[in-house]
Amino acid sequence: MTAPVLSVQDIVKVYGQGDAEVRALRGISLTVERGDYVAIMGASGSGKSTLMNILGCLDVPSSGRYLIDGTDVGALDEHQLAVLRNRKIGFVFQSFNLIPRMSALANVELPMAYGGVGAAERRARALAALEQVGLTDRIHHEPNELSGGQQQRVAVARALVTSPALLLADEPTGNLDTKSTGDVLAILDELSGSGRTIVIITHEDDVATHAKRVIRLVDGRIVEDRRQAPADGLPPRMLEVTS
């Protein structure tokens, strides 16, 4: 039996001590199976950014257990965590996080360079990823020569190029205009249709409608976990909330 891409078990995250203690997450449990497309929603202070950082192995929980693609993250040292992030997780950030004065092609090649992939294979895979996001005519352009939407599509290509188990997107359309938002969401829809596992952090209902499943956080707890209404208009199937 294939392990879930994500398995989060009773995750708690506490910042500070004593009177300054803040409980950002209060016992989060969820499972994301391969091929799912999940939107995690919540207002500022709900814990969604903290959860994103833990799912991306950028932070560690105060207690609880987190497995990605069957690997227990809590058992890894810093080097092993860095390798896991590089191989298992493709990140897409609101601010694009592209390297200035490097071409789109070089930006997409970067995670493979860190992963020790040879130059010829890096180039071939980066070109294929840029083609997938519709940017074959922009491969030699630097970030400042690209629109916001094009920069985010480069970031999506960079996230895909290592064939990660999880595509983790943090407010990926937050800095984009309406047309660019539609372009990026169309790419995510296509990736989901091809079987990619996607978790998107968003506060925008219009973005969340593209996901197959919506999880809503309030004060560090899951208060809603539901599947989207199918195309035939049947009501959404409610899922049991385990936290």
More confident residue, 230 or 91: 91
Query: E strands within 50-151?
Result: 63-68, 71-72, 89-93
Q: In what order do the strands lie in the sheet with 37-41?
A: 89-93, 166-170, 198-202, 37-41, 213-218, 221-227
Q: pLDDT, tens digit, for every residue of 62-118?
A: 999 999 999 999 999 999 999 999 999 999 999 999 999 999 999 999 999 988 899
Tokens of 21: 């203690």
- Please report where in the chains the tokens 């480069």 appear, as a residue: 154
**126 sits in which H/E element:** helix 119-132
pTM: 0.90
pLDDT of residue 2: 83
Can you identify the CATH homologous superfamily of domain 6-242?
A: P-loop containing nucleotide triphosphate hydrolases (3.40.50.300)
Whole-number Å distance between alpha carbons of 207 and 92: 15
Q: pLDDT, tens digit, for every residue of 200-215?
A: 999 999 999 999 999 9
Whole-number Å distance between alpha carbons of 59 and 56: 8
